[in-house]
Structure 1
């Protein structure tokens, strides 16, 4: 009994002096956090079977870079960056859904398309009317092909008449083409009739590596999207390295809310009153991510991940965790950990016009998302 008490006393003594510093946490976790690059465009399959390509919707509500040419849209893809972190040894990376598979407002696309169709039909109608006017003008010119001599005999200029007839044939062909295209356009396409999808090319880069172009991510470390949350309030997704192998030495985050950091930390968990699923107001939290993407990450020593810190400002309600960790574009998908290194949330949004109130997806939703 005395030996058991002595052992417990010794372990408790070790626990009391085992507080991990932010530097300790950063040094351990940084190798498991990756920069994500996504180059993407959208496809829209029309009711007539044709496919249009575009990259988004501009401020005026118009479809950006609208094209019927696949090769054309490949050179105009949108680009976004975010953060992700390894959760297993098979190259699986957790991030936000809006990083891995950018959504678009399908209703806005439908309205933009219908507006475009109406504009095109009006344009084609005006073009057809102009062609008809040219045809009628040529028809009137045919009378000029006939002349009369002194005795009233009629002579027809066959060469001039043939030129007019040829021009009329060309105008008629253009008219018919515009008419056919115009008639093939539905006056109003419903949302159900439009099949809209996003096409993504995703890649990653590691801390302390050099990134000079998108190929350093997309070609060297290509990924595929393997799972996307179907719940609107769960902005989570998984991507996976195509080689399905997490690099040797890369830190793997534990998604069960425990820190895999050795005996002392495990003993501390045993004797702590802290519940892995319960956070406290003003509790210290840390986020490791690529704020502002490559812009801020690029240094003379290669890309460098950043650690930022803050406090719990509102207890999680099951859907979100509010904290004062500053974030910017590129922080999406970053792991949020506590002072023991335990994953407590995945960063996903900030309160508009504020750097001091930001949101994370709490651990309970992460666990639910990862269930088969």
Structure 2
């Protein structure tokens, strides 16, 4: 019986020749994978280049800081039909704030209270809730069921002056009565000196019968709320050019006053040379100590200070950190006021340390920012 060989000498030689190539191929795959994951998870943070002066920080980031103009108003939804209320006690309002670009996709970081000014404080919330209750009552006091949906807005505007609502600030105490010196308005009353005796009960009944009975829209069918009408931003050095935005996110944590708007085209303008680098932000707020430099770039007082003969200009203000962080906010002595909400605050090297959000109205130099470590979590 003949035994068949597995391979000739030449075939065995070919197999031995191919083995080194296989080893090299697998080695390359393993090294590439290790390099990728090592770079991804073990890479060092980029080196911080210290800008080392207020002017350099300003020149680096002035283009990234925008002026926000937010218009909002009261709306009513009646039987599913939405209308904007434009009456005297439901006027559209406009607030200004500051924001800054954080990427090339049009995202702008600011304060949540710039995006929802009606929720800025407990006082504002109570004021808004009271207005909403009174607006509902006023609409219900005049709007009848025979009015068509298309006529809601014009009918309410025409008849608003005769609308009535319960004013929570006026309530009579129990057992008290006030004497009125004013003469009653409306019909003339017949005096007792007149010779003709009038049956007042009959007259009242006849008048009541003559008035057509109208059915009013139920309060349950009326919803009143506040919402954004328009939100736009202007760039530094722009000449009254406003870019349309949409609100993307608002912090659900009332202690973290942060929000994001985004340009509707999702593109940061080419004129913005540098966005504010969140990778270089100071996330260890324990390293922020009183006496260290704090630099803010923003738009205090909104258009009042921003508007110049050569266009809109952002401003720089500086001071020092005056109190250690409490984990959410940090205090500094920067001059600031309304309109600077949402402004970036930097250290002397140009690293973001906080987002400005509040201050004391009565006196300057007591202002606060949300520390930068909350931005990533948000």
TM-score, with length taken from structure 2: 0.63
Which residue of the other structure, out of 54, 57, 68, is the alignment partner of 1:36?
Answer: 68
Residues 135-214 of structure 1 aligned to structure 2 (within 5 Å): 137=203, 171-173=210-212, 176-177=213-214, 180-181=215-216, 184-185=218-219, 196-211=225-240
Matching of residue 302 in structure 1 with residue 311 in structure 2: yes
Tell me by how many angstroms 1:77 deviates: 2.0
Which residue of the other structure, out of 243, 249, 271, is the alignment partner of 1:227?
Answer: 249
- 1:65 maps to 89
Q: Using a 3 Å threshold, how does the CA distance of structure 1 residues 91 and 134 change in structure 2: closer, same or farther?
A: farther
Mapped partners of 2:81, 2:201: distance in 1: 31
- 1:314 maps to 323
Instruction: Answer yes or no: is the 8 Å Cα contact 2:62–2:314 preserved in 1.
Output: yes
Instruction: Answer yes or no: is the 8 Å Cα contact 1:322–1:357 preserved in 2.
Output: yes
Matching of residue 252 in structure 1 with residue 275 in structure 2: yes
Tell me by how many angstroms 1:115 deviates: 5.2
Matching of residue 346 in structure 1 with residue 355 in structure 2: yes
Tell me by how many angstroms 1:197 deviates: 3.8
Mapped partners of 2:328, 2:285: distance in 1: 16
Mapped partners of 1:285, 1:357: distance in 2: 13
Tell me by how many angstroms 1:324 deviates: 0.3
Q: Secondary structure at the match of 1:256?
A: helix
Mapped partners of 1:124, 1:37: distance in 2: 32
Q: Which stretch shows the higher mean deviation, 108-117 or 321-330?
A: 108-117
Matching of residue 81 in structure 1 with residue 96 in structure 2: yes
Mapped partners of 1:197, 1:363: distance in 2: 30
Mapped partners of 1:31, 1:124: distance in 2: 49
Mapped partners of 1:258, 1:234: distance in 2: 17
Q: Using a 3 Å threshold, how does the CA distance of structure 1 residues 124 and 282 change in structure 2: closer, same or farther?
A: closer
Mapped partners of 1:202, 1:224: distance in 2: 7
Q: Using a 3 Å threshold, how does the CA distance of structure 1 residues 356 and 51 change in structure 2: closer, same or farther?
A: same
Q: Using a 3 Å threshold, how does the CA distance of structure 1 residues 291 and 110 change in structure 2: closer, same or farther?
A: closer
Tell me by how many angstroms 1:343 deviates: 0.5
Instruction: Answer yes or no: is the 8 Å Cα contact 1:43–1:199 preserved in 2.
Output: no
Matching of residue 90 in structure 1 with residue 105 in structure 2: yes
Q: Using a 3 Å threshold, how does the CA distance of structure 1 residues 232 and 34 change in structure 2: closer, same or farther?
A: same
Q: Which runs of 5+ in 2 are unaligned?
A: 1-46, 143-161, 165-185, 188-198
Tell me by how many angstroms 1:365 deviates: 1.6
Mapped partners of 1:51, 1:340: distance in 2: 50
Tell me by how many angstroms 1:118 deviates: 6.8
Tell me by how many angstroms 1:199 deviates: 2.4
RMSD over aligned CA atoms reads 3.8
Mapped partners of 1:113, 1:88: distance in 2: 38
Q: Which runs of 5+ in 1 are unaligned?
A: 1-14, 56-62, 67-75, 141-166, 260-273
Q: Secondary structure at the match of 1:103?
A: helix
Q: Using a 3 Å threshold, how does the CA distance of structure 1 residues 21 and 39 change in structure 2: closer, same or farther?
A: same
Q: Who wins on radius of gyration, i.e. which is larger?
A: 2
Tell me by how many angstroms 1:257 deviates: 3.5
Count of residue pairs brought into register by the alignment = 274
- 2:6 maps to none
Q: Using a 3 Å threshold, how does the CA distance of structure 1 residues 354 and 244 change in structure 2: closer, same or farther?
A: same
Matching of residue 23 in structure 1 with residue 55 in structure 2: yes
Mapped partners of 2:258, 2:200: distance in 1: 59
* Deviations 1:232-279 (CA, angstroms, capped at 9, x unpaired): 1111110111111111241211123349xxxxxxxxxxxxxx967621
